[in-house]
Amino acid sequence: MQPPINILVVEDDPNVSTVLSARLESLGYRICATAETGLEAVSGVYRYHPDLVTMDILLKGEMTGIEATEKISEGSDVPVIYMTCLSDQKIFERAIRTNPYGYIIKPYDINALRSAIRIAMVKHAAARERERRISQLRKALEEVKTLDGLLPICAACKKIRNDDENTWQQIEDYLAGHTDVDFTHGICPECARRLYPEIYRNRE
């Protein structure tokens, strides 16, 4: 059984905060903390490490919910869902620039709230998985073996000197050990005529 999702409720009205917290708990979520100001919201994220934040836009103090979200995003990838009674297009556009995981207009429907949280958590998990895969790819690219500089090669037998081991190796063995190259073998026409003249005379 998965542990409950911890939510930080940021709301400047204590009554609204109490009702929202009760509704979230009725849906099976856990309220790890509440906040009434932007500063409390920012410090709450780093203190309680919530899985998700519900963020009112109009808060007590000088910092708005949008500004608090910007501060939070500087050091955390916790998903934020805005919950506001504001429907102004300019405020909406500014909120969208902070890349929230949801935007709910009050009064809200509890089913819509539950859906928004589930979608936010799925999107957040997908974003983390994408970042993990990108990190793995970058690491793999950094570990790709490359050859650079001059290779000492024997003019007679074409072996390459391995300075790491102070030995001479067949060129395919050397390249296999220093790159991700695989080899398949064939024979060029000139060598075929030299090594198998009877076959080529018959063909001609």
What are the pLDDT digits (tens) for 40-81? 999 999 999 999 999 999 999 999 999 999 999 999 999 999
**What's the pLDDT score for residue 149?**
65
Tell if the pTM clears 0.75, that is, is over it.
no
Residues of CATH 3.40.50.2300 domain(s) within the chain?
6-141
What are the pLDDT digits (tens) for 142-177? 655 556 667 788 877 778 887 777 788 888 777 777
Most confident of 22-31, 129-138, 142-151, 163-172: 22-31
Count of H-run helices and E-run strands, the chain: 8, 7
What are the pLDDT digits (tens) for 81-124? 999 988 788 989 999 999 999 999 998 899 999 999 999 999 99
Q: What is 6-141's CATH number?
A: 3.40.50.2300
Q: In sequence order, which residues have a C-beta less than 8 Å from that of residue 154 and are 6 or more positions away?
A: 160, 161, 168
As a whole number of angstroms, the distance between CA 97 and CA 108 comes to 22
Q: Is the pLDDT of residue 184 over 80?
A: no
To the nearest 10°, the Cα dihedral for 134, 137, 143, 147?
-120
- State the residue for tokens 């300019």: 90
In the predicted model, what is the mean pLDDT of the chain? 87
As a whole number of angstroms, the distance between CA 125 and CA 91 comes to 27
Please name every residue paired with 34 in a beta bridge, in sequence order, or none if there are none: 9
